[in-house]
Amino acid sequence: MKSFGIQFAVACAVALLAGSASASVISNGGFELGTAGDATDWAELSGASGSVTRSSLDPFSGSFHAYMQVDHVSNPPGAGAYFFEQNLGVGTIDNSLNYDLSFVAKSDSTDFTGVDMFFQILWLDQDGSDGGGVKGETLTSLIGLGINTTYQPFGLSDVDVPDGTDSYLLRFQLAAGPIPGVTQGLSVDDVSLTAIPEPASIGLLMVGALFVRRRR
């Protein structure tokens, strides 16, 4: 019975650790929830020469994806920013942990004349407990990472969250200059931002598992 009790405790710890490691803080990361072109928990911004929408045109998985498009053929050319962003407020980030960001993305073509595509994450102190404002930022060009017309995985690994952070703002953006004839689109799907378990927790779990093995 004692051996069984130890095994059960370790099994529970494994389950809890696995759950915390796999739970994304992103809400509606697959863009499945929403009404028509509006995705739940995502803000959308479009300019006069393009559009931003929750789309069923070409999802990577599920039935929907985020789609940003600039069209200077059907519309007058103008500079603009087209993006999806999410900020769920205070308490969404534990700054004692590191995080992995992952998503898939593709472009409509590989002609990037007059446009840029990037993802941006801002680490925020929204409750003002550490002075407020932006505590850190990462801005990454998807063109520089080799985005093309096939969905590919992108993201950041083992991000060290700045002290004082209690939340995030994550943005996917298609930016266009006022160049005639430009058409381009950016699709994003399956967004995840997950905390990495603390090494100490993993170490204790391994010790527990080893103890059970020796008891056997």
Enclosing domain of residue 113: 25-196
Angle between the N-to-C axes of helices 2-22 and 199-215, in degrees from 0 to 180, rounded to the nearest 10: 150
The H or E element spanning position 212 is helix 199-215
pTM for this model (two decimals):
0.84
Mean pLDDT of the chain: 88
Q: What pLDDT, on a 0 to 100 scale, did the predictor assign at position 52?
A: 98
> Per-residue pLDDT tens for 3-48?
544 444 444 444 444 444 459 999 999 999 999 999 999 999 998 9
Q: Which amino acid is at 169?
A: L
Is 69 among the domain residues? Answer: yes
Structure tokens at 68: 């940003």
Measured in residues, the chain has a length of 216
Rounded to 5 degrees, φ, ψ at 28 are 60, 45
Q: How far apart are CA 190 and CA 202, in angstroms?
A: 27
Is 59 among the domain residues? Answer: yes
Is 135 among the domain residues? Answer: yes
For the ranges 84-88, 128-132, 198-202, the lowest mean pLDDT is seen at 198-202
Is 208 among the domain residues? Answer: no
Q: How far apart are CA 37 and CA 31, in angstroms?
A: 10
Looking at the chain, the whole-number percentage of residues with pLDDT higher than 90 is 80
| Placement of tokens 């769920």 in the chain | 88
Q: How far apart are CA 87 and CA 100, in angstroms?
A: 17
Is 211 among the domain residues? Answer: no
> Per-residue pLDDT tens for 114-155?
999 999 999 999 999 999 999 999 999 999 999 999 999 999
Tell me the mean pLDDT in the region 202-209: 44
Give the residue from 101, 38, 83, 32 showing the smallest Cα distance to 62: 32
Q: Which amino acid is at 71?
A: D
* Residue 184 belongs to domain with CATH number: 2.60.120.260
> Per-residue pLDDT tens for 44-66?
999 899 999 999 999 999 999 99
Q: What pLDDT, on a 0 to 100 scale, did the predictor assign at position 14?
A: 42
Looking at the chain, the whole-number percentage of residues with pLDDT higher than 70 is 81
Contact present, 100 and 156 (Cβ < 8 Å) = yes
Is 117 among the domain residues? Answer: yes
Contact present, 116 and 80 (Cβ < 8 Å) = no
Q: What pLDDT, on a 0 to 100 scale, did the predictor assign at position 9?
A: 42
Q: For the chain, what is the domain count?
A: 1
Is 9 among the domain residues? Answer: no
Tell me the mean pLDDT in the region 174-180: 96
Q: What pLDDT, on a 0 to 100 scale, did the predictor assign at position 198?
A: 78
Is 138 among the domain residues? Answer: yes
CB-side neighbour CA atoms (13 Å) of 54 = 22
On the question of pLDDT at 109 being above 90, the answer is yes
